[in-house]
Structure 1
Amino acid sequence: MQVGVDYFIEKLHSEHQTNRFSMGPDASLRPLKSFIQRNALDFQQNNVAVTYAAIVPPADPNALHARKRIVGYVTLTCSEIDLDGAYPLEDCEAANRYQSISALKVARLATDNSYHGHKIGKTLMEFAIALAVHQISQFVGCRFLVTDSKAGSVDFYQNKLGFTLLDTEENRQREHPVMFLDLNKLDVEAASDAEDEPEGERSIA
């Protein structure tokens, strides 16, 4: 599937169809289904978090009650990261005196169970990165894109998207370790194609 042809990325809207979104039999992923169906729009309308959905158009757009189906989504919110001295900012040494640095957080990332293997999750993450670089960081301080990854998804974020695992003993032992992308050092040509991508991510924050 190709973004812009087979599916599109749009800011979540009340007319988007969420009731068919499925995360499959894994009970640990069910909160991702519940969020998009019950909470995401409310969070967005009340400026808590914004969700961008990967949607496929209805087979017959002229049909009565035709709605765009959500097949994946990424939820973003304002945040910060405590680097704990593990990643000093060499290009802005004065900022190292602060405990936390500004960041945009990927709070949730999910792909419908029926659409795994189409790299929708990777495309949504690339969209989030582009949004952070070309929109958000141009108007407010936003040095990092961060996420609380599942331990099994560290390779996806690290090797496919260029994220760094926060290198502290405490973080390495976490069930959902903190990972970050330094937007000031982003090489947009460096990301390789993802062969595998996580079924879903949910921030524990």
Structure 2
Amino acid sequence: MQVGVDYFIEKLHSEHQTSRFSMGPDASLRPLKSFIQNNALDFQTSNVAVTYAAIVPPAENDPQARKRIIGYVTLTCSEIDLDGAYPLEDCEAANRYQSISALKVARLATHAAYVGHQIGKTLMEFAIALAVHQVAQFVGCRFLVTDSKANSVGFYQNKLGFTLLDTEENRNREHPVMFLDLNKLDLSAPSDALDEPAGSTQEAEPA
């Protein structure tokens, strides 16, 4: 599936159909289903977190149909305690602070029927572009961070260039902290992750 052709990325809206979002039989994934169905819009209205949904447009011959969500990513303001494991060489004075500003990927999910189509990767690339072009350009925001499931560490490292926070405590966590240093991204590189998101319906987890 191709973003911008088969599906689009939009900020979550009440017109989106959330009731049929499925994560399959894995009970550990049910909170992701429950969040998009019951809480995401409230979080967004309250400025707690914003969700961007990968949506499939309704059939043109069905005026009653709603846009179906096939994946989503939820973002919120956060910070990261680097615990001395990743000193900022370009701003030594900042190393005296316990925490550094970050944008957090709080949730990432792909509809069970669309696993394998790289929708999660595309949503993460969208989040990276948003962090680079529409957050870090206007406020202090050095990192994009997430609390990864242990079996998803390879996805974030190998597919997106995230780094596992290298402390013993973090390596032993059920959901280890991972981060992407936005200042280390090559902004001249022709990467999907660095294309500025248009923020309209006509653009554009481990899958």
TM-score by length of 2: 0.91
Structure 2 residue 81 is matched with structure 1 residue 73: no
Aligned-residue offset at 1:63: 2.2
**1:78-97 correspondence runs (5 A):** 78-97=77-96
Structure 2 residue 179 is matched with structure 1 residue 180: yes
Counterpart for residue 57 of structure 1? 57
Point out where structure 2 has 5 or more consecutive residues left out of the alignment: 193-204
Aligned-residue offset at 1:186: 1.1
Aligned-residue offset at 1:191: 7.2
Change (3 A) 1:44 1:112: same
Residue by residue, what CA displacement relative to the aligned partner does 1:45-67 show, whole Å, maximum 9, x if unpaired?
A: 0000000000000123x524221
Point out where structure 1 has 5 or more consecutive residues left out of the alignment: 200-205
Residues in 2 aligned to 1:146 and 1:69: alpha-carbon distance in whole angstroms: 28
Structure 2 residue 28 is matched with structure 1 residue 28: yes
Aligned-residue offset at 1:190: 8.9
Residues in 2 aligned to 1:123 and 1:165: alpha-carbon distance in whole angstroms: 20
Residues in 2 aligned to 1:64 and 1:128: alpha-carbon distance in whole angstroms: 31
Residue by residue, what CA displacement relative to the aligned partner does 1:108-140 show, whole Å, maximum 9, x if unpaired?
A: 000000001110000000000000000100110
Partner-residue secondary structure (3-state), 2:128: helix
Residues in 2 aligned to 1:10 and 1:64: alpha-carbon distance in whole angstroms: 20
Partner-residue secondary structure (3-state), 2:74: strand
Partner-residue secondary structure (3-state), 2:51: strand
Partner-residue secondary structure (3-state), 2:131: helix
Aligned-residue offset at 1:198: 2.2
RMSD: 1.6
Residues in 2 aligned to 1:164 and 1:117: alpha-carbon distance in whole angstroms: 23
- Higher RCO (Cα < 8 Å, 6 or more apart): 2
Identical-pair percentage: 87
Counterpart for residue 162 of structure 1? 161
Partner-residue secondary structure (3-state), 1:90: coil
Partner-residue secondary structure (3-state), 2:42: helix
Residues in 2 aligned to 1:64 and 1:141: alpha-carbon distance in whole angstroms: 44
TM-score by length of 1: 0.92
- Is the 2:108–2:120 contact (alpha carbons within 8 Å) kept by the matching residues of 1? yes
Structure 2 residue 132 is matched with structure 1 residue 133: yes
Aligned-residue offset at 1:187: 3.0
Partner-residue secondary structure (3-state), 1:13: coil
